[in-house]
Structure 1
């Protein structure tokens, strides 16, 4: 379903373009990010019960949604993203979920209707999270750790800087837990270019550095994530 009002669009086709979406889908299909998907599913499995409502904010092509449906039995999964091509792919890949073209700042769900909300590298709005997540429900935010894709940053920028620490305070929620996850990824051939294309690095870095990277056949990258858990306070 497309539930993004025309007057809320900032462009004709908002969100990631098809090139970025296809690159991200190939990376996910290659299982490079499987350790993150497994950690998310395992930790959220501790939070959900049968028939729990789970919302994937900025769900993209549905990779994490699909893993949650596969690994957590009995959940009712909803996904939203402002990209129409991404939502089409998510709906095809996850027929047991419900997906809509919509903004994470204006989600077409009722107040307090979500037991667990998830955001993987996607923007969110505190007021909307407070409205959506039921009392004692959980919100999991996944952000890049300080050294995420550090070798790529070193190759693209003269003075690379670590990713900043995530903001932990969230009005209306208590900080329940924070975890880190690191693992190495060995990229081969097209995978390296796909990782660049699916990230903001597609728009940054020097052209000559990108040309040098394009000539590489393999590269080892550090994956580094921060998982921040927030519990919705009672009304």
Structure 2
């Protein structure tokens, strides 16, 4: 379902394009971030009521969304993304309610959800406050300061740590931080395609140059560490 109104588009085709969607799907289907999907699912299992309603805000092609739905068959799961190609890819999985829309204007009723999941996606207090039940949970996944250090060393002459302090400013006083954890996932990418897919699914792809391409072309494998910070907020 496409509910993205024309006046809410900032470009003709907002969000991830098909190339980025395909890169991310190939990479994730190889199981490189399976540990994150498992961790997120376990949090939802432990923290949510029976038969919960869960919204994946900025779901992309639906990797984490489908992982949640498969592991929690009693849950009703919704996936929303501003990218039409992403939702087209996700919609092959029929058990989830998919929607093309902006997470700043979600087309859901008030107090519709027991939980909102946001993995590397936009977080906004007002719409989250509107659609999340009182006492509901927000699970926010963001990069920790040393996320993908080896990949960034290839792309940038000077690598700066991610600014993790901003994560706690995404949600206002209507949401209370109840816990945060760090998850490290070792990556051993076996070939050049996996390296290209990892780069292609990140914002770093926009910073590539001829020099970066030369360094990438010289790689046949890559060892790196994905470092995530997982925050849980209570509404």
Q: SS at the partner of 2:73?
A: coil
Q: Which residue of 2 aligns with 1:27?
A: 27
Tell me the distance in 1 between the aligned counterparts of 2:56 and 2:138.
10
Q: Which residue of 1 aligns with 2:151?
A: 152
Q: Which residue of 2 aligns with 1:223?
A: 226
1:71-220 aligned at under 5 Å gives the runs 71-92=71-92, 94-165=93-164, 166-169=166-169, 170-171=171-172, 172-189=174-191, 190-220=193-223
- Cα RMSD of the aligned pairs, angstroms, is 1.1
1:112-167 deviation digits (Å, cap 9, x = unpaired): 11110000000121111111111000001100011110001111111101111143
Tell me the distance in 1 between the aligned counterparts of 2:20 and 2:217.
17
Q: Show structure 1 runs of 5+ residues with no match.
A: none
**Equivalent residue pairs, number:** 231
Tell me the distance in 1 between the aligned counterparts of 2:213 and 2:204.
10
> Conserved in 2, the CA contact under 8 Å of 1:49 and 1:75?
no
Q: SS at the partner of 2:167?
A: coil
> Conserved in 2, the CA contact under 8 Å of 1:146 and 1:164?
yes
1:56-80 deviation digits (Å, cap 9, x = unpaired): 0110111001100111130000010
Return 160-169 or 78-87, whichever deviates more.
160-169
The two structures have a TM-score, normalised by structure 2, of 0.95
1:33-77 deviation digits (Å, cap 9, x = unpaired): 000000000011112233211000110111001100111130000
Q: Show structure 2 runs of 5+ residues with no match.
A: none
> Conserved in 1, the CA contact under 8 Å of 2:143 and 2:229?
yes
